[in-house]
Structure 1
Amino acid sequence: MTIDFKKDILPHAIGVAIFYAIVALYFSPVVFENQVIFQGDILKWEGSAKEALDFRESTGEEALWTNSMFGGMPAYFISLEFPGDITNAIVSVLTLGLPHPVNGLFLGMVAMYALLISFRVRPIFAILGSLAFAFNTYNLLSLAAGHNAKIWAECLIPVVLLGIHLAFEKKRILGAAILALGLLLQFKFNHVQIIYYTFLICAIYVLVRLIFEWKKEGFPSLAKTLGFLLIGAILALGGNIGRLATALDYTKYSTRGEVTIESKAAGLDKDYAFGWSNGIIESFTFLIPDFYGGGSNTPLPKNSASEKTLRQQGLDPAQINGFVQGAPTYWGDQPFTGGPIYGGVILVFLAILGFWAAPKQSLITFGAIIILSLMLSWGKNLAWFNYLLFDILPGYNKFRAVSMALGMTLFAIPVLGMISLEKLVQEQKLKSLYMAGAVTGGLVLLFILGAGMFRFEGAADQGLPDWLVGALREDRKSMLQASALKSLGFIAAAFALIFFNLKGKISELILGAGLFVLVLFDLWSINRPYLNEDSFQDNPSKTYFVETPADAEILKDDSYFRVLDLTEGLTSAGKASYRFHAIGGYHGAKLRRFQDLIDYRLSGELNDFVTKAQEGNFDFEGIQSFNMLNTKYMIAGNAANSVFENPDANGPAWIPSSIRPVGSNQEEIDLLGEINTKTTATVNTQEFGEIKSGSGSIDLISYAPNHLKYSANMSQEGLAVFSEIYYPAGWTATIDGKERDILRTDYLLRGLNVPAGQHEIEFRFAPSSYYNTKTPMIIFQYLIILGLIGGVFFTVKERNGRV
């Protein structure tokens, strides 16, 4: 086989170089100056992961458990590594050494480019579609927020579909290996919701393909293809078996898993799951980015109606500027948003072109993905559909923020758009262009002329004076019209370029380059207000986690305890977790029993405590659930005198003088509100049998997140209670070296029946889901690499055989 450098290599090399340059230019402080993006969620993650990271650095081992938040939980979804795991090296090679997390956008562009090339889209159009896919506002807003795993999972969707597509195109070994690689990396980044959406995309593609090709290909050929794809999927699962096994272990005990309180339902609550539901009309932000006012806090243009009104009211310039620079312009259905969901109006125009220009199979496949994903994103705004799926679709009730389904939309639109453009240029049908231009341009024009049909009312209007609300709504209307006028201009420019190409006035190269420049300018200008030079810092962690006088005061105590930061509350991650074992935190899948404790005990106790404390009455006896979690300190500010020591904290372990038997979880958690947790303990006798109270003392003698030692001196055999979270999948206990059953007491704490006398007690966390899967996992990863090498070899060999 003779390789034509100009045809076979140069266009693709140019494409990769363009992708690299775009990432390097947009994120130049990250790429060239070693700065990082200020990502709020990543900083919160860093706080929650600090104990596990420090343990790894000091010992070279995995902690697997952390007490940094919620009193303690597995570290599987916080920070987890496997010795010998080669996925980090694979990512580094595929992204040409670009720094995390911006390297995900580069890989997304390369992956989409490869997918579009496999659909026989010419390189210049494939470059255009790849840019639009990776640089949509959803990805960059997610990057600014710190949702790095989500971005990576979305940018790997083209890799997964590329593998499936190649397998159906008779490149079965290569296709199966690429599928395995894509899934391997998706599972690595562990964003289960995006993986779920990826499976929906693939299911639609495979189903449509089978329907269209059943008679032509025949059952044996299609079955062979599906068999190879199954092997690829199995390899990917094997290459992540450790991550999957630990996740499966944890899920059933998390808020995504089994019910504990009998009156509750399994999975997430509907109100919680559908809290971030995209408005049906809000979907027009795909055409007009500022349709719903941009973000929840968006700068207004100079001399806006709001600014003029504030000036007329006599406010000082600082107040006016403060409001204008972060005005509540968003008036959509979601609680708040960082910005609009937008992937380029030109891409929407080209996708609509698909109704007349795209091959029927592609139109049905990607049209179905677009429609389904929009319907999923509407959540509670399309309740009859989404509540039904929530109840009957396996695993779907484990997810929240259903607006995330728009990632599917933003994937399918560029694919359908580029396939449509390629087909139009090949067939030269002006009528298709006219129809798409009329529909898209006419719709945008309608919103320009008919903007007055909307009331522009938003939840943010509550609490604002009427005179300001009126001006703010006028600004929202102006934003919609200005944004729509801009979109109309882009549609007209794209229409003109395509028209002149179809008329033979310009070449396909000029057409593609012109569209690329338009889309790049469009997306760059929309994204820049949300992620710009102000988003980059040298070391945001240093500032965010700077030690306060309050921290220094607590650090004087070298005993074992937990801390509650009153300024953060129970479900806000962060700063307390960085230095201390914390009661609060943030995680999308905390332990269900801890969530129950928050709902039924902790929130109420905390509210009562704060109310009394504001009156000068520090009622530490009234926070018995906090006491049993050994909450020794509360932080109310940064000053040293903002630290309050709790004299009633139960300590690391204690011997209760009485046992209250219970028969249900509801009874047990209710009883916690009545007892003194230091002197009385609850035990569910239906699960653990009759347990007697004892007497004696018990002390913690050494601590590591996965290994705790105690010294017990029992004058009478009985129950010992430990201020550690009960988790049955991995913790083992020994008394003088002999393994003993761990009991659950006080709804979610660990307990042991300790015999009379002096004893050494040890708790170790060594889950089999981690230790038994490490070696097989690495073997499967190398099998995937061998599969890729074999796939390339046989593909080249087959091509040589045809030459």
Structure 2
Amino acid sequence: MKFLNRFFPHLLAVLGFVIISLIYFYPVLQKKALFQSDIAQYTGMAKEQNDFRAKENAEPYWTNSAFAGMPTYQLGANYPHNYIKKLDSVLRFLPRPADYLFLYFMGFYVLLLVMKTDPLKAFFGALAFGFSTYFIIILGVGHNAKAHAIAYMPLVVAGTILVFQRRIILGGLLTMLAVALEINANHFQMTYYLLILLLAITVYYVIKFVKAKQYKLLLISFAALAGAVVLAVGANATGLLATAEYTSFSMRSKSELTVKPDGQKHETTSMPRDYITQYSYGIAESFNLIAPGLFGGSNSEKLGPDSKVVEYLQTQEIEKDRYLSKDEAVAYAADGMPTYWGDQPGVAAPAYVGAIVFFLCVLGLYNDKRKIKYAFLAGAIASLILSWGKNFSLVTDFFIDYVPMYDKFRAVSSIQVVLELCVPVLAVMGLKSFFESDKDRQWKSLKNSAIVTLGILLLLIVSKSVFKFTSINDEGIDPAFVDALIEDRKALYSSDLWRSILLVLAAALVLWMVMKERVSTMIGVVIVGVLMVGDLFLVDKKYVNSEKFVDKYKVDVPFEPSQADQEILKDTGNYRVYDIQGRMQAKASYFHKSIGGYSAVRPRRLDEVIDYQIDTKLKNLAEIIDPETLSLKSNIPALDILNVKYLVVPTRDGELPVTNPFAGGAGWFVSSVKTVASADDEMKNLSGDLRNTAIVNSKDFPQFKNKPFAKDSTASVTLEVSKSNYLKYKTQNAGVGLAVFSEIYYPKGWNAYIDNKKTDHIRADYVLRALEIPAGTHTVEFKFEPQVVKTGSMISLGSSLVMLLLLVGGIYYEGKRKTVIKNPAVK
């Protein structure tokens, strides 16, 4: 009975999280699915991989459907002995995306329990964290990996704190599992940002231990954390090693080229600085953390019937002597208007943490005596400043230039996830400490917190005239429409500020009534909790609601073939497709072998070839396409060697398939090799006769400098078998020749075999594979056999076994320790 009484509140909390997750995403119970734009793109990218699994009952680890070929390490590849992924699947037992919302709640609930919070306050605190607007909107657009990583952040923090609180065994085990799950989520940017908060917490405890001269305990704590991290990394070794191996070939590595397509010099960072900071939070815009509509909400905000935009729309003549009716104008405005006027290119929703959450956070800073609050405050401030990006370049440039790996991540505004974790923690600390304080302290902290919070909100109201409410996206729009938008932006600004003021006043009033003993503590917690969570819930529903759900079939099959796709698919040969307008989209990858695709880690060299050698020559399509035959008039060498037989060209009425009669086929022998000494020279020479001359970088492959090759009139390379991870050719040439294959060069896994004998192959023409082949007829095979998967899997197996043994031992130890505590006579 005591056991049940002890765990019953937690069981109720977990049940509540399940129910609330399902209620918020209730269409999943109707067998509907949330249409997530990013997941639709992922589905397109992963289709070939999934088809291979279904047919071969094996993992390919390579796809030919995107970017002319790339590893599937970032496309959901399944690795042997990945038991952490199996554990994660168990924890995410609810239908998507309710599973991620449930993880938000559970992870934060555990953190609050570690912070000595009672179950009721922890329950509402977890809901406030999970319903933070940014966390919901990323589920709406399909940033599942980001949501996944965020959900496990609180658990990592909880484990770390437990270790420093001298709960070495329990904390070490929780940290081990939490870090393993965090890494498995596979969003290294979020994990990297988490380190900033962990650094602040670690510094706090180091100072605490040093002041107490507890150096031994500090070393034990560090050892426990280090061991936990090593095992967590080991359990995810395959994915980590594979990703690290591929990174140097991806967009996240520094270009070997020294000049851009426009002739300007390349930056020394892994990615261009303006690309890293493209999404930078405006400094003033940060106040929408406490008033959601302060900067217009989103770039597709629903406006009501009394909006100025609706008035403007009714003045628009759609036919002669016919204007939009009120109902038509209301329906049009309800589809979403570009009210957002902040510094970012666009946002799907404001990053709102809640007015009451912020008020309670201030209360926590005033009232809670625990010094750890300063670690969370430091994490929040650091993430806020870094989220400003180019708007506070002094700090941002320092981090890009000097902090390891910071230049490998874009969209710096997303670092605010750290703040969105810290502020609710401080809020619950404020709520908890308020009820534990004496009346005098309660009144002082309540009064000061209300003055600060309401003062900020009132100051923003007074400052309304300072802002222009215009956006860079307003350029080119009818000035009268922009004027109407500005009026609606002003209305949103004022109404949401007053809304936040009323919410703060309501929460403060409830706490005051508790202080005056007119309301019980439990009732007070419930009312404040409902107000706090209800506020966030209603804002979230504006952006992610039942309207976003569709029939599950539309999610499983997100793309319908266009007439151009259908025409191309009649050709059952071996070729690639370039969707000009959809280069950065996955639609073409869903139906064809494409040289485009959707990935933030696309192969760098292939991307550069398209930038430098293809798109520059496709700028004026009318001049290079024969309108009668719908084919290219002249060849584009880079397209030819990539075996691009079809281009999907946008028109006013849709898309047209344009044939490239010069496509090079699966492979060919060259007559000569031209050696160059740099990547710049490789790129410059891709405009020549690449069917007869291969371009080879002598710095990387010195053995081919001045080496003669020949081909006769009957020389041929014929593709006989083509699978994702296996290619088989028949080659014929009278002499020793160099064959170039229209396949992406990736030496970290692709092995070449001539007549079953493994042999070395090289990179030619900047991105392709080339192989020296003896005279005569031969069988050439390329097999994708990544050693990193084999090595990583063995490390994962060993680490997982050690983790299992430690878990069993730890559970036994904790159980025995509690028995001894309850009965000191037990030895």
TM band (smaller chain): over 0.9
**Do residues 567 (structure 1) and 581 (structure 2) align?**
yes
Equivalent residues in 2 for 1:587-626 (5 A)?
587-609=599-621, 612-613=624-625, 618-626=631-639
Aligned-partner Cα distance in 2 for 1:335–1:614: 38
Q: Which residue, out of 510, 515, 534, partners 1:502? A: 515
Equivalent residues in 2 for 1:1-12 (5 A)?
3=2, 5-6=4-5, 8-12=6-10
Aligned-partner Cα distance in 2 for 1:397–1:465: 39
Once the 2 structures are TM-superposed, how far is the Cα of residue 258 of structure 1 from its aligned partner? 4.0
Aligned-partner Cα distance in 1 for 2:31–2:330: 36
Equivalent residues in 2 for 1:718-733 (5 A)?
718-733=737-752
Q: Compared with structure 1, are the counterparts of its residues 595 and 349 closer, same or farther at alpha carbon in structure 2 (3 Å cutoff)? A: same
Question: When the two structures are aligned, how many residues end up with a matched partner?
Answer: 796
- More deviation, 143-152/541-550: 541-550
**Do residues 628 (structure 1) and 630 (structure 2) align?**
no
Once the 2 structures are TM-superposed, how far is the Cα of residue 543 of structure 1 from its aligned partner? 5.7
Which residue of the partner structure matches residue 272 of structure 2?
A: 269
Contact 2:626 2:632 in 1 (8 A): no
**Do residues 550 (structure 1) and 564 (structure 2) align?**
yes
Aligned-partner Cα distance in 2 for 1:463–1:320: 23
Which residue of the partner structure matches residue 112 of structure 1?
A: 108
Which residue of the partner structure matches residue 739 of structure 1?
A: 758
**Do residues 189 (structure 1) and 185 (structure 2) align?**
yes
- More deviation, 234-243/614-623: 614-623
Indicate the RMSD between aligned Cα atoms, in angstroms.
2.0
Contact 1:92 1:98 in 2 (8 A): no
**Do residues 526 (structure 1) and 536 (structure 2) align?**
no
Contiguous gaps of at least 5 residues in structure 1: none
**Do residues 81 (structure 1) and 100 (structure 2) align?**
no
Contact 1:653 1:720 in 2 (8 A): yes
Contact 1:550 1:642 in 2 (8 A): yes
Q: Name the SS for the 1:267 alignment partner.
A: coil
Q: Which residue, out of 4, 25, 46, partners 1:27? A: 25
**Do residues 783 (structure 1) and 799 (structure 2) align?**
no
Contact 1:606 1:623 in 2 (8 A): no
Q: Which residue, out of 395, 420, 435, partners 2:448? A: 435
Q: Name the SS for the 1:586 alignment partner.
A: coil
**Do residues 693 (structure 1) and 709 (structure 2) align?**
yes
**Do residues 287 (structure 1) and 290 (structure 2) align?**
yes
Q: Deviations over 1:535-571 (max 9, x none)?
A: 1112224663223333232222221111112331x2x
**Do residues 234 (structure 1) and 230 (structure 2) align?**
yes
**Do residues 468 (structure 1) and 481 (structure 2) align?**
yes
Q: Which amino acid aligns with 1:69?
A: A
Which residue of the partner structure matches residue 312 of structure 1?
A: 315
Q: Name the SS for the 2:634 alignment partner.
A: helix
Which residue of the partner structure matches residue 378 of structure 2?
A: 368
Contact 1:605 1:622 in 2 (8 A): no
**Normalized against structure 1, the TM-score is what?**
0.96
Q: Compared with structure 1, are the counterparts of its residues 392 and 92 closer, same or farther at alpha carbon in structure 2 (3 Å cutoff)? A: same
Q: Deviations over 1:288-326 (max 9, x none)?
A: 001110110111121211221232354424467435532
Q: Which residue, out of 120, 123, 127, partners 1:127? A: 123
Q: Which amino acid aligns with 2:233?
A: L
Which residue of the partner structure matches residue 64 of structure 2?
A: 67
Q: Compared with structure 1, are the counterparts of its residues 320 and 622 closer, same or farther at alpha carbon in structure 2 (3 Å cutoff)? A: farther
- More deviation, 208-217/541-550: 541-550
Equivalent residues in 2 for 1:261-410 (5 A)?
261-263=257-259, 264=266, 265-314=268-317, 315-317=323-325, 318=328, 321-323=331-333, 325-410=335-420
Q: Name the SS for the 2:700 alignment partner.
A: helix
Percent of pairs with identical residues: 33
Q: Which residue, out of 673, 683, 697, partners 1:669? A: 683
Contact 1:721 1:745 in 2 (8 A): yes
Once the 2 structures are TM-superposed, how far is the Cα of residue 775 of structure 1 from its aligned partner? 2.9
Q: Deviations over 1:447-474 (max 9, x none)?
A: 2343222110112211122222222111
Contiguous gaps of at least 5 residues in structure 2: 260-265, 318-322, 823-827
Contact 1:174 1:788 in 2 (8 A): no
Q: Compared with structure 1, are the counterparts of its residues 584 and 329 closer, same or farther at alpha carbon in structure 2 (3 Å cutoff)? A: same
Q: Which amino acid aligns with 1:697?
A: S
**Do residues 426 (structure 1) and 436 (structure 2) align?**
yes
Once the 2 structures are TM-superposed, how far is the Cα of residue 110 of structure 1 from its aligned partner? 1.1
Aligned-partner Cα distance in 2 for 1:543–1:258: 36
Once the 2 structures are TM-superposed, how far is the Cα of residue 217 of structure 1 from its aligned partner? 5.5
**Do residues 654 (structure 1) and 668 (structure 2) align?**
yes
**Do residues 801 (structure 1) and 817 (structure 2) align?**
no
Aligned-partner Cα distance in 1 for 2:294–2:764: 54
**Do residues 512 (structure 1) and 525 (structure 2) align?**
yes
- More deviation, 421-430/686-695: 686-695
Aligned-partner Cα distance in 2 for 1:542–1:162: 37
Q: Compared with structure 1, are the counterparts of its residues 565 and 77 closer, same or farther at alpha carbon in structure 2 (3 Å cutoff)? A: same
Q: Deviations over 1:589-617 (max 9, x none)?
A: 11221222132112212224455439778
Aligned-partner Cα distance in 2 for 1:165–1:611: 66
Aligned-partner Cα distance in 2 for 1:548–1:603: 23
Q: Which amino acid aligns with 2:753?
A: T
Once the 2 structures are TM-superposed, how far is the Cα of residue 266 of structure 1 from its aligned partner? 4.4
Q: Which amino acid aligns with 1:293?
A: G
Q: Which amino acid aligns with 1:662?
A: V
- More deviation, 710-719/311-320: 311-320
Equivalent residues in 2 for 1:159-238 (5 A)?
159-216=155-212, 218-238=214-234
Which residue of the partner structure matches residue 12 of structure 2?
A: 14
**Do residues 415 (structure 1) and 414 (structure 2) align?**
no
Q: Which amino acid aligns with 2:453?
A: T
Q: Which residue, out of 48, 55, 59, partners 1:58? A: 55
Once the 2 structures are TM-superposed, how far is the Cα of residue 189 of structure 1 from its aligned partner? 1.5
Q: Name the SS for the 1:447 alignment partner.
A: helix
**Do residues 537 (structure 1) and 550 (structure 2) align?**
yes
Which residue of the partner structure matches residue 452 of structure 1?
A: 465
Q: Compared with structure 1, are the counterparts of its residues 506 and 788 closer, same or farther at alpha carbon in structure 2 (3 Å cutoff)? A: farther
Q: Deviations over 1:107-162 (max 9, x none)?
A: 22111111111111122111111111111111111001100010010010011111
Q: Which residue, out of 33, 43, 46, partners 1:49? A: 46
Aligned-partner Cα distance in 2 for 1:90–1:416: 30
Contact 1:715 1:756 in 2 (8 A): yes
Aligned-partner Cα distance in 1 for 2:812–2:286: 45
- More deviation, 319-328/729-738: 319-328
Contact 2:304 2:330 in 1 (8 A): no
